[in-house]
Amino acid sequence: MAHTKAQKAVKGNRDSQPKRRGVKIYGGEKIKAGNIIVRQVGSKFNAGEGTMTGTDYTIHALKDGVVKFSVKKGKKYISVVAS
């Protein structure tokens, strides 16, 4: 008995597209309002001053400035400081 059906492609042989998540702009870099700082699933990073979290947990800059990463009480925060 053959293990494949008439040499057709296997149903589960497809792979999903990469989601391109991660940090887009690092600490100390300049940023403009509206730019994406981090694309993430869940709140690995939290929004600090000058940033906001989107519905898909993406962190955006609300103002122009310099990106700053910090840790407070074990949680990671991203903020935008005026340059």
In the prediction, which pLDDT does 11 show? 72
How would residue 4 be classed by pLDDT, with cut points 50, 70 and 90?
low
Q: Judge whether residue 9 has pLDDT over 80.
A: no
Contacts of 40 by beta carbon, 8 Å cutoff, 6+ apart: 21, 22, 57, 58, 59
Domains and their CATH numbers in the chain:
22-81 (2.40.50.100)
Pairing outcome for strands 59-61 and 65-72: unpaired
Per-residue model confidence as pLDDT tens digits over 25-75: 999 999 999 999 999 999 999 999 999 999 999 999 999 999 999 999 999
pTM check: above 0.85: no
